[in-house]
């Protein structure tokens, strides 16, 4: 028997952010391989008889390596009709879902990706920060705060700052101050930014302000993952209506 593997995005923060399709598939799943940063309560949607396997990754501490996860999904597909790889956010936005799916497809295992709400989508909406909106920004750019070791893929923060619109940096905890500093050198110290940390976890918090102030805050208090940094005029909207604490 060979089953089908679904790479499913569970969204971030609220278990109700999950899609109806993801909810249905979890109810049919015979095996679920789940990540660390899935919303609390999502596992309750799983088929009660499903085999649940934790494959979470914390910085410097992985329950399973990526190669081991790939092989596990393949092995499970040989014994189960419906297998779910459950991830926080969206599987194809810095989620490595494409690696798992292509690995399976190359071994002739049917695979389907079910999209989810990303951390930057949910966090921005929660604090009334439109990533793109009329009169605020006609585009937005999303980048990782962890730069690639490949020079071909690397794009500097100053280069990104030159792109019009809203800038979003995910996985920024260790580099927030540096990113703010380099973006400010292009856009100016008065440009507004917001740091949203511990997204979807107990103690989630958000602060905003001019980049000069935001940098001081990041250096003094540090930034706790999972975190994002949003920079641009859109941040001012959330600040104006009190949806986000502004310094």
CB 108 within 8 A of CB 217: no
In 135-149, which positions are buried (b, 16+ CB within 10 angstroms) versus exposed (e)?
A: ebbeebbbbebeeee
Q: Is 63 left (phi over 0), alpha (psi -120 to 50) or beta?
A: alpha
Domain boundaries, the chain: 4-114, 119-246
pLDDT score, position 60: 62
Upper half-sphere CA count for residue 229 (Cβ side, 13 Å) = 33
> How far apart are alpha carbons 7 and 113 in whole angstroms?
5
Domains 4-114 and 119-246 equal at CATH topology level: no
| Total-model pTM | 0.88
One digit per residue, the tens of pLDDT, for the chain of length 247 reads: 679 999 999 999 889 999 999 999 999 999 999 998 898 899 999 999 999 999 987 666 667 899 999 999 999 999 999 999 999 999 999 899 999 999 999 999 999 999 999 999 999 999 999 999 888 889 999 998 776 555 555 668 999 999 999 999 998 888 899 999 999 999 999 999 999 999 888 888 999 999 999 999 999 999 998 899 999 999 999 888 878 878 8
User: H or E segment at 223?
Assistant: none
What per-residue confidence (pLDDT) applies to 201?
Answer: 83
Query: Is 35 assigned a catalytic role?
Result: yes
87 carries an active-site annotation: no
CA 157 to each of CA 71, 87, 234: distance values in angstroms, whole numbers, following the listed order: 36, 28, 19
CATH for the 119-246 domain, from 3.40.190.10, 3.40.50.10490, 3.30.70.100, 3.30.950.10:
3.30.950.10
CB-based contacts of 125: which residues, under 8 Å, 6+ apart? none
pLDDT for the residue 106: 97
Catalytic-labelled residue, pool 4, 14, 57, 107: 57
Question: Which pLDDT value is given to residue 48?
Answer: 97
pLDDT of residue 153: 52
DSSP 8-state assignment for residue 55: -
How many CA within 13 A on the CB side of residue 78? 5
CATH class of 4-114: alpha beta
At residue 112, the pLDDT reads 97
* pLDDT for the residue 135: 87
Other CB atoms within 10 A of residue 6 CB? 24
Active-site residue identified among 35, 87, 90, 126: 35
Helix (H) / strand (E) element for 122: namely: helix 119-126
Q: What are phi and psi of 35, to 5 degrees?
A: -95, 175
């Amino acid at each position: 028997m060979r089953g089908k593997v679904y790479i499913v995005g569970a969204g971030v923060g609220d278990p109700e952010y999950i899609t109806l399709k993801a909810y249905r598939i979890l109810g049919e799943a015979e095996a679920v391989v789940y990540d660390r940063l899935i919303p609390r309560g999502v596992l309750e949607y799983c088929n009660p008889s499903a085999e649940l396997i934790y494959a979470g990754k914390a910085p410097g501490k992985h329950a399973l390596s990526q190669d081991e996860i790939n092989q596990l999904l393949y092995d499970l597909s040989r014994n189960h009709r419906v297998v779910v790889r459950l991830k926080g956010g969206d599987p194809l936005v810095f989620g490595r879902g494409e690696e798992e799916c292509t690995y399976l497809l190359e071994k002739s295992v049917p695979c389907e990706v079910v999209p989810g709400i990303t951390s930057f989508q949910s966090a921005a909406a929660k604090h009334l920060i439109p990533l793109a909106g009329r009169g605020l920004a006609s585009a937005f750019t999303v980048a990782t705060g962890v730069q690639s070791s490949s020079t071909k893929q690397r794009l500097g923060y100053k280069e990104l700052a030159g792109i019009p619109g809203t800038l979003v940096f995910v996985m920024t905890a260790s580099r927030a101050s540096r990113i703010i500093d380099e973006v400010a050198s292009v856009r100016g110290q008065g440009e507004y930014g917001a740091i949203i940390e511990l997204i979807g976890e107990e103690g989630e918090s958000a602060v905003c302000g001019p980049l000069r102030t935001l940098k001081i805050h990041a250096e003094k208090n540090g930034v706790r993952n999972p975190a994002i940094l949003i920079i641009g005029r859109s941040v001012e909207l959330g600040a104006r209506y009190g949806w986000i604490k502004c310094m």
